[in-house]
Amino acid sequence: MSVTTKTIERKGGDFLIRSTYAEDLFIPEEWNEEQRLIAQSCRDFLEKEVYPRLDRIDSMEQPELMPSLLKKCGGLGLLGTSIPEKYGGLEMDFNTNLLIAEALGSGHSFIVAFSAHTGIGTTPIVYFGTEEQKTKYLPGLASGEKLAAYCLTEPDAGSDVKAGKTKATLSTDKKNYLLNGQKMWISNGGFADILIVFARIEKDEELSAFIVEKDFEGITMNEEEKKMGIKGSSTRQIFFNDCRVPVENRLGERGKGFKMALNILNIGRIKLAAATLGGAKVGISKSIRYANERVQFGKSIGSFGIIKHKLGTMAAKLYAAESAVYRTGQRIENCFNELKEADRDAVLAKMKAVEEFAIECAILKVHSTEMADYVADEAVQIHGGMGFSADGPVERAYRDSRINRIFEGTNEINRMVCIDMLLKKGLQGQLDLMTPALQVQKELVSVPELSSNGDHGTLSCEKKIISNLKKTGLLVAGAAVQKLKAKLKEEQEILMHLADILIEVYLSESAVLRAEKSIHLNGEKESEAQVALARIYLYSALGIVTNAAREAIYAFSEGDEQRMLLLGIKRFTRVDPVNLKEARRKIADLMLKKNEYPF
């Protein structure tokens, strides 16, 4: 099938209904020297400035410590990498910004503060600010002279953002808005100079956004929240009592705050996914070193099969996540470049490009945060008693990781979001889901093809499996839509199963395509480990998809319809046996030899 680059880049969610080719992907093996140096400078910053101070950061006995670290980052240019050069930033491409998030991702509470400032705190002004607002605020935010926070969540408005009760009332002289309300769980709240605040103007149905300076009168806050993890990140409740905000500080159009919040959350989701990669890589490397050093029954525990099983599985989950994150980042960048070439405003083009791939951002947020939790949990298990000890090397990571499944919209919400957006694109004609879904239904009553598609490469069987997993998703989703119609949106359990199928299709395809491109770049011998990682992930994903598909079918069908659908699932998920034990051992042995996660 011949597909132009423009067709490829402009449709988020289309991975379910079209073939993707390895040559179209960006993979981490393609980082250039400048990007590698930037990432190394970030890791050096953690080694020098953050790791030696982790206990002091978590104690919060020195409130000025975190702001000082952020300001040092500003001095290195790391706070302005997504800010245009004319406002004091470096304006790096999307994937380089993701790489920076990854490289700083093992910084525990520091990465939370960094991300809150550079992402959700600064980005709204970059994307939605007027020229005057950008000129006034962005240079200070890029240098670290000013630090930012994002104020969206309220006591009665968490996942339900539109339920927010904070009000903005125009003053009698029409020069200011009087802001009244309460925000909670505000990262960087204790030291932020600039607050991005969402509120409803008078009787508007929709939210608007405002740039609020901490020195404006009428702002008070509670003490720092006591948290399970990320103890060193400032988290405050903030109260606005007739806080006077100049009318020129309204951010974006009136009543467009909800859409703004969603767009900013999309960026936050994929950047959070990137940050989890860095934390997971460090967690696996610590586990590898401990497995080499810890001796039981006369030999290192790394020689035991169950430890190799754990290490191999951890590595495969991380490999798939990394593959999908940078695949998506490049597609966003490519889409941005297309839109910009079409004479669209550059900033608006960036926003539209991210919005186009909102499905993938939600998928990445779910998978990567759950991957990071899995890695942290297994790291504790491999370390045994030392893993549970607060003096050990992984206990902090275990506690800190847990919040990621709640940040940027809970994983439950993101599961609902990704499948809801996909189905809406289909209903609105943005993606032709119906045609391939009907083709899959016809295939069920046809004689199975015995011939291959002509691809006899190393990963040809795996690519066929992925094609069948896509058919599985289309079969189940198509049947559910036909049976339940509008009621499907109320069946959250079924939507959850459909989302899990979608997630595993995207992640497994990303891993396989990355391994295939590695073969193209480096040859089969040099890519054996990558092929093993892709296979480990894919065959594990196969089980998840099969179970999710069956659970969904059980929930909405019965009788002959159910039997036909189950036969379809059996047909599309039937594979020859594969010895994953040897694949996991191969990966574990390689990592143990190198004494780190090397991919």
Residue 280 and residue 494: Cα distance in Å, rounded? 30
**Of 139, 138, 122, 144, residue with least CA distance to 74:** 144
**C-beta of residue 443 within 8 angstroms of C-beta of residue 451:** no
For the chain, the 3-state helix, strand and coil shares in percent, each to the nearest 5, are 65, 10, 25
Using alpha carbons, list the distances in angstroms from residue 318 to 283, 321, 357, 511: 11, 5, 21, 10
* CB within 8 Å of 120: residues ≥ 6 apart: 150, 196, 264, 265, 267, 268
Does residue 575 sit in helix, strand or coil? coil
**C-beta of residue 166 within 8 angstroms of C-beta of residue 198:** yes
* CA contacts within 13 A on the Cβ side of 106: 25
**What sign for the dihedral angle of Cα 67, 71, 73, 78?**
positive
Among 356, 408, 462, 504, the one annotated catalytic:
408
Residue 150 and residue 420: Cα distance in Å, rounded? 26
Structure tokens at 206: 């929709």
**C-beta of residue 382 within 8 angstroms of C-beta of residue 307:** yes
Q: Tokens 């790791």 — which residue?
A: 51
**Of 292, 330, 378, 473, residue with least CA distance to 5:** 330
Q: Tokens 């951002």 — which residue?
A: 361
Backbone angles phi, psi at 501, to 5 degrees: -65, -45
Known catalytic residue at 408:
yes
Rg (CA), the chain: 25
Catalogue the active-site residues: 408
